[in-house]
């Protein structure tokens, strides 16, 4: 996890050669994007950490990267949502929380989550989560174990009705 750095004030930014600063900012952006795909807001924040650039330069770099299709929040959100669902069985609520952390806007998140859950239904995911938990902990016998099992599924972001149905299925 990265440590918090206070934002640099505009008066602290030193831009002697705007063209050089634009090139440095573009190179830094490309470098950051080679390590991992990022949202526009994430990239903007990372670029503005340096005092040799400013918002105008960062905006022009982001616009250029968007033209080249290196930055696309809709595609990024969907790819991230799909990837998370392939690697771990989580519900809609948890997936939305994860996407909010990536500084994506609400409409983009909603669209990406809906599209990702069209590919992999939530009922299939909760069944995967239940199977995994049963393999690890065994069938919950006592009321306390059932409560913990229920709480685990809630933390994974599944809907109450889906969890209740799974719990009923386990009891019978």
Burial class (CB in 10 A: 0-12, 13-18, 19+), 79: middle
At residue 117, the pLDDT reads 94
Long-range Cβ contact pairs of 102-105 (< 8 A, separation 24 or more):
102/38, 102/39, 102/42, 102/76, 102/77, 103/39, 103/41, 103/42, 103/45, 104/39, 104/41, 104/73, 104/76, 104/77, 105/73
At residue 2, the pLDDT reads 64
Each residue's pLDDT expressed in tens, for the chain with a length of 172 residues: 667 666 676 666 677 788 998 999 999 999 999 999 999 999 999 999 988 888 899 999 999 999 999 999 999 999 999 999 999 999 999 999 999 999 999 999 999 999 999 999 999 999 999 999 999 999 999 999 999 999 999 999 999 999 999 999 988 8
Q: Where are the domains of the chain?
A: 10-67, 73-119, 122-171
At residue 17, the pLDDT reads 84
pTM of this structure: 0.82
């Amino acid at each position: 996890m990265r440590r918090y750095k206070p934002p640099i004030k505009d008066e602290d930014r030193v831009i002697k050669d705007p063209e050089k600063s634009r090139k440095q900012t573009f190179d830094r952006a490309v470098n950051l994007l080679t390590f991992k795909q990022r949202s526009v807001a994430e990239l903007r924040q990372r670029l503005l950490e340096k005092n040799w650039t400013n918002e105008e330069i960062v905006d022009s770099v982001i616009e250029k990267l968007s033209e080249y299709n290196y930055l696309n929040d809709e595609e990024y959100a969907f790819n991230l949502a799909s990837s998370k669902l392939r690697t771990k069985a989580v519900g809609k609520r948890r997936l939305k929380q994860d996407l909010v952390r990536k500084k994506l806007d609400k409409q983009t998140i909603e669209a990406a989550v809906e599209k990702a859950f069209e590919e992999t239904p939530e009922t299939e995911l909760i069944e995967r989560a239940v199977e995994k938990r049963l393999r690890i902990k065994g069938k919950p016998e006592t009321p306390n174990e059932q409560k913990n099992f229920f709480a685990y599924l809630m933390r994974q972001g599944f809907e109450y009705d889906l969890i209740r149905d799974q719990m009923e299925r386990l009891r019978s």
